Structure 1
């Protein structure tokens, strides 16, 4: 799946990521943070909806369709965060000569791709 223009526009709003050596922390702009929180709130609602469907004995295929949509939405949040991480933290570490960051990125990508 490709990133839509809203996602790409929001990525330009990321200020910095993974600051000091003693504390690993990301710093996203308010616009990006609000976008991610909005997406996560929507996902939270989808999860509650799925729970309700199960409680109402909704047809399994319909529940599975909703689960798939929720997984897709969560994957989108992961892609946004990964792209920001690559464009800030990872790039910065590589420019500093720290190529060990690539091993960390590969583990992260493998986690995102597990299905």
Structure 2
């Protein structure tokens, strides 16, 4: 689970991401230079990815670790399958 401090930090980061996304929309409306828009998109994507990484880290340290420590093979396998699926969604898999 995320600590209150971690939640606060992630909430602040998400607010910045929301601001970046709003800036992208505004830049598009104003016909800003394409490279500037793409740079803003990359910044927002990177920040959002870091939020996801922090949540995955927290999940591994709490939920997954707990399932492994429980000794329950079904719970362990369920959590490992969840991790594999989320890594695939985040593009962390190897093909």
What range is the shorter-chain TM-score in? 0.7 to 0.9
The runs of 5 or more residues in structure 2 that have no matched partner are none
**Alignment correspondent of 2:13:** 39
Runs of 4+ in 1 over 3 A off after TM superposition: none
More helix by share: 2
CA RMSD of aligned residues (A): 1.2
C-alpha deviations, 1:32-63, integer Å up to 9, x for none? 11011000000000000000100000111111
Which aligned pairs between 1:4-23 and structure 2 lie closer than 5 A? 17=1
The runs of 5 or more residues in structure 1 that have no matched partner are 1-16, 18-27
Normalised to the residue count of structure 2, the TM-score between the two structures is: 0.86
Q: How many residues align?
A: 88
1:109 aligns with 2:83: no
Normalised to the residue count of structure 1, the TM-score between the two structures is: 0.72
Which has the bigger relative contact order, CA under 8 A and spacing at least 6?
A: 2
